[in-house]
Chain A
Amino acid sequence: AQSVAQPEDQVNVAEGNPLTVKCTYSVSGNPYLFWYVQYPNRGLQFLLKYITGDNLVKGSYGFEAEFNKSQTSFHLKKPSALVSDSALYFCAVRDPNTGNQFYFGTGTSLTVIP
């Protein structure tokens, strides 16, 4: 079965420090992986995706994610956190062999401390 796990409900990081939000996945084939961000009282916004090719994917607002097939992970990273990065982050996976459905993680709340 397809699934995605975000092991941390909450991540706190000081402004200016690097941040990592973790995601692991489980799909039967080669996954399509996505990161979304949700600011308060807003819908989810697409950040970046991995489909194929280079394992390091760069996205919006300076975020990047690294696809690691051996560890079945797709962690979201940013070299220097901003207070404005504080939000809820969702990882999602889609197995292209089983239709168009996305499977979202439970979300990780990121707080960047000034």
Chain B
Amino acid sequence: DAGVIQSPRHEVTEMGQEVTLRCKPISGHNSLFWYRQTMMRGLELLIYFNNNVPIDDSGMPEDRFSAKMPNASFSTLKIQPSEPRDSAVYFCASSRIGTSGDNEQFFGPGTRLTVL
């Protein structure tokens, strides 16, 4: 299995531009999570989906952030307009909700976003 795939791996953009991060979860997984990691705030959960449905988006910092999961094999996280304080590493993770619900999350390699 290829694992969780994220693209792009690096993104440098200017303030005010739209940024779209992409994630392909592991095949067969039905939960998907978006995290943000910074030195100051550590690892933060932004939003997660179960069976393509957003369950908890309370971690999304502002209306500038939005996430979609149109099907089981693809998700996007969009920032519009981007600001310098959005600079961070964004991780996508997926897991499978089992009957016992004990399945671990598998993380992608992350997208390092720099907003100038």
Chain A interface (Cβ < 8 Å from any Cβ of B): 32, 34, 36, 42-46, 49, 51, 90, 94, 96, 99-102, 104, 106-107
Q: Which stretch (B14-22, B48-56, B65-73, B75-83) binds chain A?
A: B48-56
Residues of B contacting A44 with CB < 8 Å?
A: 43, 91, 93, 105, 107
CA distance A20 to B50 in the complex (A): 34
Chain B interface (Cβ < 8 Å from any Cβ of A): 4, 31, 33, 42-43, 45, 48, 50, 55-56, 91, 93, 95, 97, 100-102, 104-110
Flag if A100 contacts B50 (CB, 8 Å).
Answer: yes
Interface of B is mostly: strand
**A46 and B48 in contact (CB under 8 A), knowing A100-B97, A107-B42?**
no
Residues of B contacting A102 with CB < 8 Å?
A: 33, 45, 105
CA distance A49 to B16 in the complex (A): 42
23 A-B pairs whose Cβ atoms sit less than 8 Å apart in the complex? A36-B107, A42-B109, A42-B110, A43-B107, A43-B108, A43-B109, A44-B93, A44-B107, A46-B105, A90-B43, A96-B102, A99-B55, A99-B56, A100-B55, A100-B97, A101-B45, A101-B55, A101-B56, A102-B33, A102-B105, A104-B42, A104-B43, A104-B45
Flag if B48 contacts A100 (CB, 8 Å).
Answer: yes
Residues of B contacting A32 with CB < 8 Å?
A: 101-102
Residues of A contacting B108 with CB < 8 Å?
A: 43
CA distance A49 to B95 in the complex (A): 14
Residues of B contacting A42 with CB < 8 Å?
A: 109-110
CA distance A51 to B27 in the complex (A): 24
Return the contact of B101 from the options A43, A90, A100, A106 (Cβ within 8 A): A100
CA distance A107 to B41 in the complex (A): 11
* Extra pairs beyond A42-B110, A107-B43 (8, CB < 8 Å): A43-B91, A43-B110, A51-B102, A94-B102, A96-B101, A100-B55, A101-B45, A104-B42
CA distance A43 to B93 in the complex (A): 9
Residues of A contacting B93 with CB < 8 Å?
A: 43-44
Closest residue of chain B to A35 (Cβ to Cβ) is B104
